[in-house]
Chains A and B, each alone.
Chain A
């Protein structure tokens, strides 16, 4: 099975406090720790587990710039056979549909049986996979939390729905699935693994290689644009205990007693 996994490099919210820049035009990107989008990492692991059983190849692709090569190499160190960087100044400022349009052009240059994305990215909205499927006229399923290969033509999948329940579906190949976290346990990648793929060539594709009209993507075509960032003021905000740890523990025990939190 030939599997394409669409990945992104994002600021790691587990490692960073996200703050605004002084102009409010973006988040403060100096000193941010970046990593692979968490959902995408589960998608790559799932692809690797499928080809381990069913045979085939895993290609990881990202739309971005030179800096994004590091996440491709990380996923290649996990075991992905190929990494592909889609990059062109004309792609800057693309909205979700723009990214889906770019990925569609790449998909049509190859012969993929299965295309995986993460359910969402930290700054995104769970949209590219569903758009890509519709652009390709492939069946789509979101929030996928298990995949079983039935034969060369279809999969049995489950989707995560409310209350921890699972919706079972059968889906024909080729198709697009968006992968939910927790579907598997992504393997560890050490420095040694990353060194081993450091010299592998990562081909790049731009508008001319993909046959994309520059005005169909990027900022000019984007119909959804951020105008500014701000820090939300939701709710009344907590009363913050500002004492030493010992003082805070005493205060907290008093509150727990008052609110019925201790038996």
Chain B
């Protein structure tokens, strides 16, 4: 069987949560698998990550290169294509870095690419059978991938539960000398940190959160009035920010804020995984959506199928009468 590699993202000398999820995914491919971690970076941070990973991985391949001090996917891709055997199965987290790195890596290694995998069913000879979601999670598909010449498999963060087990007591193997000069037509300049907004939604106990179902900017006031009546704050999902109806600082999700309220009222929000990734601390979730098939109803505690533009004002009126 082809060797399994896990690409490890890290920051500030600490491996990303996905590092242990990729071990679990490898075991779903083959229960006997002993995946190899591959880590790129530079300096003391890289060494700290590699040493820590020996608790989860029997082998940790270290690629130290000054040009990789910041993870520019263009350069990381070149390094991986030089070091990792092309017939391997390479597991990558499907996040802002993984979507940058992985599709092109599969071309460089002439292997198969499968994106945003939420579950692995089995490896059957040359075929890997996985589960993906389509249309914002409204339907799922079984997908059969020919991995006979290797594959790059992007895995959705949070979909693979880390395994309990004894420490791997692994070893770090330095592969740095196998990488030649790394250059790219894309150069990292700096990271611009998001501006703080007027309301810090990450500190609110109750959020009235609106999505595409609010339909137009003039309707945002409907949610604000309800939030005022409840003593809550208004947050939102991505389409509301894309349409410039609310500030970016109000957005809950992987590309916005992480929130941890006690009560989360999702109004006209379909419930994409990117949105749900920003919801922590196991809040009580109330979902109101006119589409009974909206994925939000699968994760909510209580659901109401209704049009928020009619439901919310009536709810506001009743709360004011209390």
Structural contact, B206 and A261, CB atoms closer than 8 A: yes
Stretch from B42-50, B83-91, B138-146 that touches the partner: B138-146
A130 is contacted by which of B95, B102, B238, B322 (Cβ under 8 Å)? Answer: B102
B169-206 CB contacts (< 8 Å) to partner A:
184-194, 205-206
Structural contact, B193 and A138, CB atoms closer than 8 A: no
| Cα of A223 to Cα of B150 in the assembled complex, Å | 11
B104 is contacted by which of A122, A133, A170, A172 (Cβ under 8 Å)? Answer: A133
Structural contact, A134 and B298, CB atoms closer than 8 A: no
Q: Which residue of B lies closest to A19 (CB)?
A: B293
The reply to whether the CB of B299 lies closer than 8 angstroms to some CB of chain A is: yes
A96 is contacted by which of B95, B115, B206 (Cβ under 8 Å)? Answer: B115
Structural contact, B230 and A232, CB atoms closer than 8 A: no
With a cutoff of 8 Å between Cβ atoms, the chain A residues found around residue B212 in the complex are 14
Q: Interface residues of B: mostly helix, strand, loop or mixed?
A: mixed
Q: Which residue of B lies closest to A157 (CB)?
A: B186
Q: Which residue of B lies closest to A14 (CB)?
A: B212
Interface, chain A (partner B; CB < 8 A)? 11, 13-14, 17-20, 27, 96-97, 100, 119, 122-131, 133-135, 138-143, 156, 158-172, 175, 178, 181-182, 185, 223-235, 237-241, 245-246, 248-250, 252-253, 255-256, 259-263
Sample 16 A-B pairs with CB under 8 A, ordered by A number: A13-B135, A14-B212, A17-B291, A27-B139, A131-B103, A131-B113, A138-B185, A139-B184, A142-B99, A166-B194, A169-B186, A223-B112, A224-B112, A226-B143, A238-B299, A238-B303
A-B pairs, top 10 by smallest CB distance, nearest first, are A125-B115, A263-B231, A130-B103, A164-B194, A238-B303, A139-B185, A182-B242, A134-B107, A172-B185, A134-B104
Interface, chain B (partner A; CB < 8 A)? 72-74, 77, 94-97, 99-100, 102-108, 112-116, 129, 132-146, 154, 184-194, 205-206, 212, 230-232, 238-239, 241-244, 248-249, 251, 254-258, 262-263, 265, 270, 284-287, 291-293, 295, 297-306, 310-311, 314-315, 318-319, 322
